[in-house]
Structure 1
Amino acid sequence: MNPVDVRKGSSPVILGLPHTGTHVPPEIWDRLNDEGRRLADTDWHIHRLYDGLLPEATTVRATFHRYVIDANRGPEDESLYPGQNTTGLISRTDFDGRPIWKEGAAPDAAETQGRLAAFHAPYHAALAAEIARVKALHGVAVLYDCHSIRGTIPFLFDGRLPDFNIGTDSGRACDPRIEAAAAEIAGAADGYTSTVNGRFKGGWTTRHYGRPDDGVHAIQMELAQATHLEREAEPFAYDIAKADRLRPHLKAILERIESIALTLNS
């Protein structure tokens, strides 16, 4: 299976989808324990949730699961949140701190390098190529990184997450108008809660590609999964009614970002 699926569009907006893939090669699957095989930390159905909201947006989607290797971590595996519990380039545990590998089966450094080459690098090569293509079309590109997570995970954070978690690396990854637009629309969404640069400030993708001075802007949207799943537990089923209520707000955010992007190089 190709590690990355790319759908080219003419919009200045690119949707990054690093965590919706569920493919695990058999030789890796055999080494996951029962907990790991649940694939519980998937960004469930996010590609479906965003499908068609901005028809001309480019999408770059990893098809492999984050337990194979995490496409939203840097190749040097530096911590995104020093001093806090988090998961790395190749997770040893799930989001609840439980081991996901059979005894002695966790990948070593050499295997990690192999997975970087086979999965991580092709995803980011495709993403970088689309950013360059879109920037050549418009003089600017906006990477909108799509994520979701369970709203309550004591191992990673206290309490319950807001529904919309906007991350811009504390404002460094994008023009302030992009951050403000996303925050305004999310904040006005009736029945939802939101925050900007709270527990999630943007992963490696947002921090690495977001270079506003060079015409590349990045913003991460981490959604609480209760906004679009029947429940934040197996079988992690998509809730059409919930999703249909959420999608107009996401569409409004994307359309506003696209509109702003088209003015940034004028």
Structure 2
Amino acid sequence: MDSYTLHRGTAPLLVSLPHNGSFIPKDIEARMKRPARRSADTDWHVKELYAFARSLGASILVPVASRYVVDLNRPSDGHALYPGRKETGLVPTVQFDGNDIYRPGAEPAAEEIAQRIKTWWKPYHRALADELSRLRKKHGRVVLWEGHSIRSHVPMLFDGRLPDLNLGTADGASCSPALQARLTAVLEAQNDYAWVANGRFKGGYITRHYGRPDDGVDAVQLELSQDTYMDEDSFAYLPRKAANVQVTLDALLRACLAA
């Protein structure tokens, strides 16, 4: 099985969707508690949500495996992204609701974690790095757009309700000031969604690692509240809701290209 799919576009824009995958290999699934087998913390339907980006010429990179297998937006050494705050790790053992993923004693050992990194994590990051390099050589500059989503209420990770759109640029370090200004202007101009820049979600490993604006790579993460495009209880995609938020997503990606 391929560990990812890559659509190679023509524009200087790569949309990465590292938490869209929901596949869990049978040998891993057999050791999980039954509720965890739903892979509830998947960034559901972001592949469909961003499908329009092909018409803009964007490249789109999508993984196959669930973040419960290995989290592609964490460093492979397991280093924490938000020291001092609760978060799930490289190979999570708890869900966002705080419940255990594995049956007692069935958690993956170091050797298995290393194999998951080799099988799933490394191929995705090789593909990501190679595509960024291809687009940068062709255009001189490229934007990496990290498309994420999460339930609107996750008490383990944040208090209250999450804003609808959460822009992350590692506090301005992962992209140029000009691009951040363009994106902020788009968000300020729309009236449908609450938003914040560099709030609870400042950008994960991919944004921070690959974002090198001085070297021609701008990286931006957008964490969407799933309530903007789907039913959070059933995981059902809601096309009418999705179409509304896609208007704003389209404006944001066009701002990336304009920058």
Same fold (TM over 0.5): yes
Looking at structure 2, the residues matched to 189 and 240 of structure 1 have their Cα atoms a distance apart, in angstroms, of 20
The aligned runs of 1:66-145 (5 Å cut-off) are 66-145=67-146
Who is 1:171 aligned against? 172
Who is 2:249 aligned against? 250
Who is 2:153 aligned against? 152
Q: Give the deviation of 1:54 after TM superposition.
A: 4.7
Q: What amino acid does structure 1 have at the position aligned with 2:37?
A: R
Who is 1:240 aligned against? 239
1:23 and 1:63 in contact (8 A); partners too? yes
- 1:64 is the counterpart of 2:55: no
Q: Give the deviation of 1:187 after TM superposition.
A: 2.8
Q: Where in structure 1 do 4 or more consecutive aligned residues deviate above 4 Å?
A: none
Who is 2:21 aligned against? 21
Who is 1:217 aligned against? 218
Q: What amino acid does structure 2 have at the position aligned with 1:141?
A: V
Q: Give the deviation of 1:135 after TM superposition.
A: 0.3
**Superposition CA RMSD, Å:** 0.9
- 1:228 is the counterpart of 2:248: no
Q: What amino acid does structure 2 have at the position aligned with 1:45?
A: H
Q: What amino acid does structure 1 have at the position aligned with 2:133?
A: A
Q: What amino acid does structure 1 have at the position aligned with 2:246?
A: R
Looking at structure 1, the residues matched to 83 and 157 of structure 2 have their Cα atoms a distance apart, in angstroms, of 12
Three-state SS of the structure 2 residue aligned to 1:53 is helix
Give per-residue Cα distances to partners, 1:32-67, cap 9 Å, x unaligned: 111211211000000101102352100111111100
Count of residue pairs the alignment pairs up:
258
Q: Give the deviation of 1:115 after TM superposition.
A: 0.5
Looking at structure 2, the residues matched to 43 and 75 of structure 1 have their Cα atoms a distance apart, in angstroms, of 20
Looking at structure 1, the residues matched to 35 and 74 of structure 2 have their Cα atoms a distance apart, in angstroms, of 22
Looking at structure 1, the residues matched to 53 and 246 of structure 2 have their Cα atoms a distance apart, in angstroms, of 7
Looking at structure 2, the residues matched to 5 and 258 of structure 1 have their Cα atoms a distance apart, in angstroms, of 23
Who is 2:190 aligned against? 189
In structure 2, stretches of 5+ residues that fail to align are none
Looking at structure 1, the residues matched to 110 and 88 of structure 2 have their Cα atoms a distance apart, in angstroms, of 16
Looking at structure 1, the residues matched to 238 and 136 of structure 2 have their Cα atoms a distance apart, in angstroms, of 36
Looking at structure 2, the residues matched to 232 and 178 of structure 1 have their Cα atoms a distance apart, in angstroms, of 31
In structure 1, stretches of 5+ residues that fail to align are 261-266
Give per-residue Cα distances to partners, 1:209-257, cap 9 Å, x unaligned: 001111111000000000000x212x21001110111111100110111
Looking at structure 1, the residues matched to 128 and 101 of structure 2 have their Cα atoms a distance apart, in angstroms, of 28
Looking at structure 2, the residues matched to 165 and 122 of structure 1 have their Cα atoms a distance apart, in angstroms, of 28
Looking at structure 2, the residues matched to 252 and 37 of structure 1 have their Cα atoms a distance apart, in angstroms, of 36
Who is 2:258 aligned against? 259
Percent same amino acid at aligned positions?
43
Looking at structure 1, the residues matched to 188 and 24 of structure 2 have their Cα atoms a distance apart, in angstroms, of 37
1:54 and 1:254 in contact (8 A); partners too? no
Cα gap change, 1:251 to 1:54, in 2 (>3 Å): farther
Looking at structure 1, the residues matched to 185 and 50 of structure 2 have their Cα atoms a distance apart, in angstroms, of 19
Looking at structure 2, the residues matched to 193 and 187 of structure 1 have their Cα atoms a distance apart, in angstroms, of 10
Three-state SS of the structure 2 residue aligned to 1:114 is helix
Three-state SS of the structure 2 residue aligned to 1:219 is strand
Q: What amino acid does structure 1 have at the position aligned with 2:146?
A: D
